Structure 1
Amino acid sequence: MVNEIKKTEENVISTLGDIKQKVTDMFADIKGNITDEMLKRCDEIERREQVYFDIIFTGSFKKLFEQTRTNLTSDLEAKSEELTQLQGNLERPPIAFHAHHVANLILDKTDEIVIFTKSVINEGTGYDNSTGIFTVPVGGLYQFSVHICVCKGKYAYIGLVLEGKVIAADMNHDKDQYTCSAFGAIVRVKSGEKVWVKSTWSSSNRQLDQDSYRMNTFSGILVNN
């Protein structure tokens, strides 16, 4: 009986050992499976986070980069145009004229052009002292000035004309003295347009005067284009 009991005890211990080993192996398998699953889940989470990061950050950075590049390109093009214009302005010769000496002092014809026949300066060759007309060589902002002198007891009605339209006018008269007066205008004109001085109201008692003390002049200068 003792032997049987020992044998039975040994079988029970052996069986318990087998059960313990199976339980240990089972838990190891479960632990391994759980660990593998957790690692897979962690890898999946990291991959998704990286994808989201790439989409959000890379997309925003790319958009910002493209916007910055566009702005820089626009600024460079604008600066290039400004430099080109400045270079053109620097290379462009100055435009200015100053003429005097009226050949025909009698103002007996309305709308007759007053021709100043002697040019002191004619930069840009816009003024024609044979016709009295200034043809604008370069469009821009110009200042024109007219100075006239009148015999005593006579009248002068003079206008500054741009393309047929009077843009400034003057009347001069003194019954006892020789008098002079000046007038002018600042006006924006286009290339090819014409400017001249004319008599706006004429008759036999309309007459200019000039000598070594009094001078009739017509001048203009390009202020800014």
Structure 2
Amino acid sequence: MLTKFCLVFGAATVLLTSRVRSSAVTRHKRSDDTNPLELVVENLSKQVSTLTAEVTVLKTKIASDEKDVAFYAWHSTNPIAVGPLGIVALNYALTNIGGAYSTLTGVFTAPVSGLYDFQATFMTHPSSTNKKVYAGIYIDTRMVSEGVADSQHGYWDQSTIRALVHVTSGQQVMLRNVLGTQAEYYGYPYTTFSGFLLRADQ
């Protein structure tokens, strides 16, 4: 009886061992096991995705930096004599980010298309040759804002004008004497012209 039990127990042990080994072999052959090479490829793919995202962010930042445009100018001498319909060319640019404003011509040339904010202030005084002066902000030949400063009553007068407008790349913006007669503006920081890009076109 004991001998028979030993034989049965031994046979069961052999069968169980065989099944465990078979299971181990079968597990190595499962399709959901990961190949070491596949792990390397997966990790590299994740790194590439991360680097691609970083490059995209950097490109966006560079594009944004390239679109920074702003200027602020006034005249270093006094008075500023401007001929009929002439440009008020302010020769000192305290700020000129992007270099789009010319201190030689007084013209701002838009480097990119977008929404811009322009502002101009001009002054006249009682001893000026022209006690009443006009000025306007122009986009090419189109006036978009106009003002007047009048010192005929014996006191200094200053006027500020502004224009929030869309400008296309290459268009020129300037401060101009709007009358067909000569104008004399008070110089230094009392007559200024400034502008900046508020939002570039996408």
Q: TM-score, normalised by structure 1?
A: 0.56
Q: 1:94 to 1:126 in 2, by over 3 A?
A: same
Q: Which amino acid aligns with 2:105?
A: T
- Indicate the structure whose relative CO is greater, using CA pairs within 8 Å and at least 6 residues apart: 2
Alignment match, 1:170:
147
What amino acid does structure 2 have at the position aligned with 1:172?
A: A
State the partner residue of 2:159.
Answer: 181
Pick closer, same or farther for the CA change 1:183–1:210 going to 2, 3 Å. Answer: same
2:8 is aligned to none
- Mapped to 1, the partners of 2:149 and 2:57 lie a distance apart of 48
Deviation at 1:89, TM superposition (A): 3.8
Instruction: State the Cα RMSD in Å.
Output: 2.4
**Pair 1:215-2:193 in alignment:** no
How far the C-alpha of 1:90 sits from its partner, in A, is: 2.8
Residue 41 of structure 2 corresponds to none
Tell me, what secondary structure is at the counterpart of 1:137?
coil
Unaligned runs of 5+ in 1: 1-81
Closer, same or farther in 2 for the Cα pair 1:188/1:93, shift >3 Å? Answer: closer
Contact 1:157 1:202 in 2 (8 A): no
- Choose which of 62, 83, 87 in structure 2 pairs with 1:113: 87
Q: Kindly report which structure 2 residues correspond to 1:77-156, keeping only aligned pairs within 5 A, or say none.
A: 86-87=60-61, 89-101=63-75, 105-107=80-82, 109-152=83-126, 154-156=131-133
Offset at residue 210 of structure 1 (A) = 3.1
User: Shift of residue 203 of structure 1?
Assistant: 3.1
**CA distance in 1 between partners of 2:136 and 2:111 (Å):** 22
Q: Whose radius of gyration is greater, 1 or 2? A: 1
Decide whether aligned partners of structure 1 residues 132 and 194 sit closer, same or farther in structure 2, where only a CA change above 3 A counts.
Answer: same
Structure 1 residues 118-176: Cα deviation after superposition (integer angstroms, max 9, x where no partner) = 01010000000000000111111000000101122601111111011111111110221
TM-score, scaled to structure 2:
0.62
Q: Who is 2:179 aligned against? A: 201
Deviations, residues 11-50 of structure 1 (Å, cap 9, x unaligned): xxxxxxxxxxxxxxxxxxxxxxxxxxxxxxxxxxxxxxxx
Amino acid aligned to 1:161: Y
Contact 1:148 1:208 in 2 (8 A): yes
Q: What CA distance in whole angstroms lies between the structure 1 residues aligned with 2:176 and 2:140?
A: 12
After the TM superposition, which segments of 4 or more aligned residues of structure 1 sit over 4 Å from their partners? 82-88
Q: Contact between 2:67 and 2:112, CA under 8 Å: does it hold in 1?
A: no
Residue 161 (structure 1) aligned with residue 138 (structure 2): yes
In 2, Cα distance between equivalents of 1:91 and 1:219: 20
Report if the CA contact (8 A) 2:75-2:91 is conserved.
yes
Aligned with 2:164: secondary structure?
Answer: strand
How many residue pairs get matched? 140
- The answer to whether the 8 A contact 2:85-2:181 is kept is no
